[in-house]
């Protein structure tokens, strides 16, 4: 399953964001390093279910909205010089290895300093926090490369291709390929054979960009002074209010309101009479949502999956006429796949044996047979025909 990580300095609201997105328990407090060990949970991306286009009844969506699960990790807070081991740096950086993409949570209100200590709203420039995660990760990668550099040079015997291969092998765990290393070398016009360690810092920055795409999310935007908000908007920062999202999800779970994660607004449930504090709290949240067309939490998760990672949603079925499995369950599964994936890729995702025995596929919408190298589209409903039982 796809894995997203929440990263950022301490006390920026990561744990609130995590709890709001997963409804899993996470300790939340107004001091640095509340989170020491990573929290693991399941969040969801929201997409329009294929049942709405097919006009069939489906029990796996809510009002035509399909929620597809992804792993979410809330890791320990990062402080400047984490790559040197400051704070919980090494532990934090190691926890990011398994992430496919990162949501970099910053405190848009400017209420915490670079190490996460409360300083009062507007007294720290959150724009300073935007670049520092990328820098820390770059220097972390640079440190790993530095440890192996003499061995890489010795093993390659001054041959460029051998150096590229050795670097790729060093970062296999980050998903870096030989082609990635070759392309970075060409783009940066760096000579790996004669490069110094300082020459390799921009090289490592590119490795981070490829292996860990990142979306900056300005949390607590509703508390941010207008000047800070405008500055972050200019830097293309996504805004969110995790506290508002958490309150809405708790209210929806208590059946006080009707709300789906990602909705631009909510409504009070029929027959519910709100207390004065409830009414005041919900009114304030409604104002926040008007500014952001929602709380921003679900929107950030969707952007990470569909924009950063370029994923699509595909529905495998066994009966192309009724869009169901053998038990008659309509659209029982929804898989996240990279754009450019093929029916053969889908077969392997369903089951390794199904992939090995792949014969052909059928587009359930058109009832046409499609080739194994056909490029799948978002919302496709596909029947896989395989020799595997």
Q: For residue range 338-356, what is the model confidence (pLDDT) as tens digits?
A: 999 999 999 999 999 999 9
Domain edge (last residue) among 277, 303, 329: 303
pLDDT of residue 31: 42
Q: Is the pLDDT of residue 56 over 80?
A: yes
Indicate the average pLDDT of the chain: 90
Cα–Cα distance for residue pair 177/172, rounded to 1 Å: 7
- pLDDT, greater one: 130 or 336: 336
* Structural contact between residues 318 and 383, judged by C-beta atoms closer than 8 angstroms: yes
Residue 308 maps to a domain: no
Q: Which domain holds residue 326?
A: 314-386
Q: Is the pLDDT of residue 168 over 70?
A: yes
Q: Is the pLDDT of residue 26 over 60?
A: no
- The three-point CA angle 100-307-142 to 5° equals 40
Domain match, 203 and 229 both:
no
Q: Taking residues 148-167, what's their average pLDDT?
A: 88
Banded model confidence at residue 97, pLDDT cuts 50, 70, 90: confident
Q: Is the pLDDT of residue 57 over 70?
A: yes
Residue 268 maps to a domain: yes
Q: Is the pLDDT of residue 389 over 80?
A: no
Domain match, 194 and 225 both:
no
Secondary-structure percent of the chain, ordered helix, strand, coil, rounded to 5: 40, 20, 40
Domain match, 165 and 291 both:
no
pLDDT of residue 30: 46
Question: How does pLDDT run across 30-54, given as a tens digit for each residue?
Answer: 444 444 457 889 999 999 999 999 9
* Structural contact between residues 12 and 77, judged by C-beta atoms closer than 8 angstroms: yes
DSSP state for residue 306 in the 8-state scheme:
I
Q: What is the pTM of this model?
A: 0.89
Residue 328, SS3 per DSSP: coil
Domain match, 320 and 359 both:
yes
- The beta-strand segments (E) located in the chain are 3-7, 39-48, 65-74, 101-107, 214-219, 238-240, 257-258, 267-268, 311-317, 335-338, 358-363, 368-370, 381-386
Question: How does pLDDT run across 281-339, given as a tens digit for each residue?
Answer: 999 999 999 988 999 999 999 999 999 999 999 999 999 999 999 999 999 999 999 99
- pLDDT, greater one: 118 or 76: 118
Q: Is the pLDDT of residue 160 over 90?
A: no
Domain match, 114 and 234 both:
yes
Share of residues in the chain with pLDDT > 90 (%): 72
pLDDT of residue 39: 83
367: phi > 0 → left, psi -120 to 50 → alpha, else beta; which? left
Domain match, 20 and 83 both:
yes
Q: Is the pLDDT of residue 121 over 90?
A: yes
pLDDT of residue 332: 96
Residue 309 maps to a domain: no
Banded model confidence at residue 271, pLDDT cuts 50, 70, 90: very high
Cα–Cα distance for residue pair 296/79, rounded to 1 Å: 25
pLDDT of residue 290: 93
Q: Is the pLDDT of residue 252 over 90?
A: yes
Cα–Cα distance for residue pair 3/159, rounded to 1 Å: 36
Q: Is the pLDDT of residue 20 over 70?
A: yes
Residue 336 burial (CB < 10 Å; 0-12/13-18/19+)? buried
Domain edge (last residue) among 303, 325, 346: 303
Domain match, 219 and 116 both:
yes
* Structural contact between residues 368 and 360, judged by C-beta atoms closer than 8 angstroms: no
Query: Which of these, 71, 64, 69, 19, lies nearest to 44 by C-alpha position?
Result: 69
Q: Is the pLDDT of residue 138 over 50?
A: yes
pLDDT of residue 258: 96
* Structural contact between residues 91 and 60, judged by C-beta atoms closer than 8 angstroms: no
Whole-number Cα distances in Å, 125 to 119, 227, 233, 276 = 11, 10, 13, 36
Least-confidence region, from 5-9, 98-102, 109-113, 157-161: 157-161
DSSP state for residue 254 in the 8-state scheme:
T
Cα–Cα distance for residue pair 381/353, rounded to 1 Å: 20
Residue 101 maps to a domain: yes
pLDDT of residue 35: 43
pLDDT of residue 173: 83
Banded model confidence at residue 80, pLDDT cuts 50, 70, 90: low
- pLDDT, greater one: 220 or 23: 220
Banded model confidence at residue 85, pLDDT cuts 50, 70, 90: low
Cα–Cα distance for residue pair 162/387, rounded to 1 Å: 41
Residues facing residue 68 across a β-bridge: 45
**CATH number of the domain to which 270 belongs:** 3.40.50.300
Domain match, 234 and 102 both:
yes
Domain match, 124 and 249 both:
yes
Name the domain count of the chain: 3
Domain edge (last residue) among 178, 210, 242: 210
């Amino acid at each position: 399953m796809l894995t997203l990580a929440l990263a950022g300095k301490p006390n920026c609201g990561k744990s609130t964001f995590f709890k709001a997105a997963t409804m899993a328990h996470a300790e939340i407090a107004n001091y640095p390093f509340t989170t020491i060990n990573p929290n693991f949970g399941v969040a969801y991306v929201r997409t329009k279910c294929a049942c709405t286009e097919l006009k069939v009844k489906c029990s796996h969506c809510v009002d035509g909205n399909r929620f597809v699960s992804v792993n979410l990790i809330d890791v320990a807070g990062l402080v400047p010089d984490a790559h040197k081991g400051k704070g919980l740096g090494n532990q934090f950086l190691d926890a990011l290895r398994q992430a496919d993409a990162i949501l970099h949570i910053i405190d848009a209100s400017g209420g915490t300093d670079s190490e996460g200590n409360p300083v009062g709203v507007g007294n720290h420039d959150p724009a300073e926090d935007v670049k520092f995660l990328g820098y820390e990760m770059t220097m972390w990668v640079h440190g790993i490369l530095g440890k192996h550099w003499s061995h890489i040079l010795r093993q390659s015997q001054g041959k460029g291709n051998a150096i590229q291969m050795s670097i790729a092998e060093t970062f296999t765990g980050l998903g870096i390929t030989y082609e990635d290393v070759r392309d970075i070398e060409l783009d940066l016009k760096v000579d790996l054979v004669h490069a110094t360690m300082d020459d390799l810092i921009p090289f490592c920055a590119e490795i981070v960009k490829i292996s860990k795409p990142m979306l900056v999310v300005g949390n607590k935007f509703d508390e941010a002074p207008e000047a800070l908000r405008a500055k972050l908007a200019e830097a293309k920062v996504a805004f969110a209010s995790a506290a508002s999202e958490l309150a809405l999800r708790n209210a929806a779970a208590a059946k006080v309101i009707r709300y789906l994660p990602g909705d631009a607004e909510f409504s009070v449930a029929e027959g519910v009479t709100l207390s004065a504090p409830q009414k005041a709290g919900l009114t304030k949240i409604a104002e926040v949502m008007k500014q952001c067309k929602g709380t921003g939490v679900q929107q950030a998760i969707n952007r990470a999956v569909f924009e950063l990672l370029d994923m699509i949603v595909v529905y495998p079925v066994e009966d192309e006429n009724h869009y169901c499995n053998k038990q008659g369950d309509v659209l029982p599964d929804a898989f996240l796949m990279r754009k450019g994936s093929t029916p053969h890729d889908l077969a392997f995702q369903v089951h390794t044996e199904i992939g090995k025995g792949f014969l052909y596929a059928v587009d359930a919408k058109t009832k046409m047979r499609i080739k194994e190298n056909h490029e799948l589209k978002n919302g496709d409903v596909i029947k896989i025909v395989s020799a595997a039982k």
